[in-house]
Structure 1
Amino acid sequence: MRSTVARTARLGGVAVLAAWLLGAGGAGGPGAPVRTAVQRPEAVPPQAAPASAGGCEDRTPAPSRSESGPKVQQIKQRGTLIVGVDQNSYHWGYRNPQTGRIEGFDIDLARAVAKALLGDPDKVTYRTVPTAKRMEAVKNGQVDLIARTMTITCERWQEIAFSAPYFASGQRLVVPKAAKVTSLAQGLRGSRACVADQSSSQAVLSPGGNRNPYGTAGIRVVENQLDCLVLMQLGQVDATLTDTALAAAQAAQDPTVEQAGEQIAFAHMGIAMRKEDTDLVARVNQVLVNYRADGGWRASYDHWLAGSMGADPAAYLR
């Protein structure tokens, strides 16, 4: 699906496109952003985001400047940081069709970690990883870390480790504007819904067994959330459930769709790493502390996200 649908979304034009809360990166990013004349969706920040990241955030090591641990030393000796990223999420991890470079908020974050560990933000090897393969890529050591709008959950903590949270989010519905949807329940009831495989959105719509909590007519599961946008444009699905941040990106990318209804399933995003690599997790946590303190998180937000998520990022730093 991704090889056909995601390329269509990237190249087909706008009408057929696709306490430590910290971020990263400089405002410049690894390439200029795609400048498109799109209608900005209404910014709807999270409501009363929870104080904890699913009750699991206390498992992450305290921030540390130490670089003597085995995983950090391995990365320094290799001379490059291997990061699992997305290439289909506009403003987060997106391959710019004009330059061929992957850019966005999560890419800035990866570059910030590389600069801290290796002294150069360009010393990053990007490996694009589908949503459903994120856990596997971390556990098998295919990447040093995943920076890919990944929600922290207690279930995932059983198998991998997370950094401290760097962004507060939730789940939001994306629908064609012509549908005139006013609530999440209305938008999903009797609809053909679309979600990314192994995503938090899939867990919301398919909580297990034969339950169908929102009465959807069917659920289309795809490799990446951008595939849902294309299927919606083609009339093959009626609605997409995805992370709030990615919902805003879809609406910014295609002015014929919009975010609709209330936000649900409040959560936080974190950088994913192997459970064994506690030294790397602690060092990444220190990078996050530094980037919030020196304005890097805010600079990256202003550059990539302010246009689609609102000028004030306070709601996303809970």
Structure 2
Amino acid sequence: MDRRLRGWGGVAGMAVACALAAALLPAVRHEAGTGRAGPPRPPEATPARQAADEDCEDPEASLRPSGADGPAVNRIQESRQLVVGVDQNSFRWGYRDPATQDLVGFDIDLVEAIAEDILGEDYREQDKKVVYRAIPTNQRIPALQKGDVDLVVRTMTINCDRIRDVAFSTAYFEAGQQVLAPKGSGIEGFDATLAGRTVCTAAGSTGESELRKQSHGARVVTVPNQLDCLVRLQLGEVDAVVTDNALAAGQAAQDPSVELVGEPFTEEPYGVAVNLADDDLVRRVNKVLEEYRAGGADSAWREAYEKWLADDLKGIEGPPAPKYKS
């Protein structure tokens, strides 16, 4: 294997990359203050749970939108804070702006829209806040089940396995698993060219699930977060990365020595994840998403896409159409 440092200008660049990865690991809060989303809430026999226990034919179908308050929405309003599990090291999606150290990105813009709807448009000025909690990929579901967060907005794919453990909003973005590799590596995609190579993916991700089904002869290494895979790729410790192309496009933008190869081999609809007991919160988020998508070329969704993703993920016409339970 080629052990040379790849991208970001050799040793000096890798020092920056490793320092960045280390800086991104601790949890971050957007504003001062802490707080829990509430006590742990067991998966009760809610409509979301009952639907998940049936044959899973359309995991993207969510509860119909509603602006009505309910137990979960009231809990958030009474606590005066929305606690959200996010990523803070996915370029373009959820990451720290180097200039301000604020969390920014496509997912963060969506969180702000949800917070404004639930806490009020003036929530920043009324001692109300969003508390961001950075969580690893494989801790997204446990964080919701234990009540550590109200929502997870973290490029999280809606699928049949996950809807048995958490509820989801309608999809707000459509991605696909793809292979990221150094230019000139000889790796051509998710195929036999991975044989004998070492491939990195995040633990608990759909990339890990796909590699468990079919590794194509590759040795699989898992890490807590996808940025760790990019650092290992730059160090020459792995030969390729399997992840959502939406995330990989951001990594390729960070390091021009790597590229997406082959074609996407899965469909990955991203949704906002919620505790199974919080049906009213699912409906409220879906109401926000209806408004977020509205307006076509002038929608808040389009504005966020053009701001964060259009340079690296070209040609996406709009968000996925929402699907609802009958």
Provide the TM-score with structure 1 as the length reference.
0.79
Cα separation, partners in 2 of 1:88 and 1:10, compared to 1, 3 Å: farther
Q: Distance in 2 between matches of 1:266 and 1:87?
A: 24
Q: Which residue of 2 aligns with 1:173?
A: 179
Post-superposition Cα deviations, 1:160-202, rounded to whole Å, max 9, x if no partner, equal 1000111111101100113143332154222100010000000
The answer to whether the Cα contact below 8 Å between 2:207 and 2:242 also exists between their aligned partners in 1 is yes
Q: Distance in 2 between matches of 1:15 and 1:54?
A: 42
Q: Distance in 1 between matches of 2:257 and 2:77?
A: 46
Q: Distance in 1 between matches of 2:306 and 2:13?
A: 23
* Correspondences of 1:73-92 after superposition (within 5 Å): 73-92=74-93
Cα separation, partners in 2 of 1:17 and 1:229, compared to 1, 3 Å: farther
Report deviation, 1:223: 0.4
Cα separation, partners in 2 of 1:94 and 1:184, compared to 1, 3 Å: same
Percent identity of paired positions between Structure 1 and Structure 2: 44
Cα separation, partners in 2 of 1:276 and 1:9, compared to 1, 3 Å: farther
Output the aligned Cα RMSD: 2.4
Q: Pick from 303, 312, 315: which aligns with 1:308?
A: 312
* Correspondences of 1:1-318 after superposition (within 5 Å): 12-13=15-16, 55-58=58-61, 60-67=62-69, 69-120=70-121, 122=124, 123-207=129-213, 212-216=214-218, 218-294=219-295, 295-310=299-314, 312-314=315-317, 317=320
Q: Which residue of 2 aligns with 1:26?
A: none
The answer to whether the Cα contact below 8 Å between 1:170 and 1:267 also exists between their aligned partners in 2 is yes
Q: Which runs of 5+ in 1 are unaligned?
A: 1-7, 19-29, 31-52
Q: Distance in 1 between matches of 2:16 and 2:57?
A: 38
- Greater Rg over alpha carbons, structure: 2
Post-superposition Cα deviations, 1:46-66, rounded to whole Å, max 9, x if no partner, equal xxxxxxx961123x2100111
Count of paired positions: 270
Provide the TM-score with structure 2 as the length reference.
0.78
Q: Distance in 2 between matches of 1:316 and 1:248?
A: 18
Report deviation, 1:265: 1.2
AA aligned to 2:59 is C
Secondary structure, aligned partner of 2:266: strand
Report deviation, 1:102: 1.0
Moved over 4 A (4+): 8-18
AA aligned to 2:194 is L
Q: Distance in 1 between matches of 2:205 and 2:241?
A: 12
The answer to whether the Cα contact below 8 Å between 2:18 and 2:231 also exists between their aligned partners in 1 is no
The answer to whether the Cα contact below 8 Å between 2:83 and 2:132 also exists between their aligned partners in 1 is yes
Cα separation, partners in 2 of 1:54 and 1:16, compared to 1, 3 Å: farther
Q: Distance in 1 between matches of 2:88 and 2:60?
A: 27
Q: Which runs of 5+ in 2 are unaligned?
A: 1-10, 22-29, 31-55, 322-326
Report deviation, 1:16: 9.4
